Amino acid sequence: MQRTLTIIKPDGVKKNIIGEVISRFERNGLRIAALKKIKLSKDGAKGFYIVHKERPFYESLTDFMSEGPIVVMVIEGENAIYRVREIMGATNPADAQIGTIRKDFADDIERNIVHGSDKPESAAFEIPYFFSQIEIL
């Protein structure tokens, strides 16, 4: 059993597809272990994406991630990190496979609807960034 941190980004919330995105995870046998709707400050977004601080898109990405509400979730299941990323599709929707969330809904490489931890070490940083132990069930 593995846990991963997943986010429906501000573009996904604006497009009113929270339920659609969650359904795709649930239909694939994954379980929502924790969930809440919040709004990140600019500093909150910068802290979350600290690994990207040297990237040219860091400012733009953290502006985007703090522009409106997001839904943060802990998703649980066997091999959850890999499976969530498969359901999400490639970072750039132009490269994403048909039937993935990003192919179906994302506007571009930045506004790409969802986030999912890329490896266990990332999940170990990202889950406690948003959730305390007693919120994960």
Total of residues contacting ligand GDP (CB under 6 A): 9
For 136, list phi and psi in degrees, rounded to 5. -105, 115
> What is the dihedral sign for C-alpha 35, 123, 46, 60?
negative
The catalytic residue among 3, 7, 115, 127 is 115
Among 18, 28, 118, 136, indicate the residue that binds ligand GDP (CB under 6 A): 118
* Catalytic-residue membership of 52: no
Considering beta carbons, is residue 78 or 86 the nearer one to ligand GDP?
86
**Helix ranges restricted to H, 1-137:** 10-14, 18-27, 42-48, 58-65, 80-88, 101-105, 120-130
Task: Of 12, 9, 14, 66, give the one whose Cα is nearest residue 39.
Answer: 66
Options 13, 70, 112, 127; binder of ligand GDP; rule CB under 6 A:
112
Decide if residue 18 touches ligand GDP (CB under 6 A): no
Residues in contact with ligand GDP, shown as a per-residue x/- string from 34 to 73 under the rule CB under 6 A: -----------------------x--xx------------
* Residue selected from 24, 46, 83, 115 as contacting ligand GDP according to rule CB under 6 A: 115
Beta-strand pair 114-116/70-77: unpaired
Contact of 68 with 14, CB cutoff 8 Å: yes
Q: Is 110 in the site for ligand GDP (CB under 6 A)?
A: yes
Single-letter residue type at 125: F
Residues annotated as catalytic (active site), given as ranges: 115
Binding positions for ligand GDP, rule: CB under 6 A = 57, 60-61, 91, 109-110, 112, 115, 118
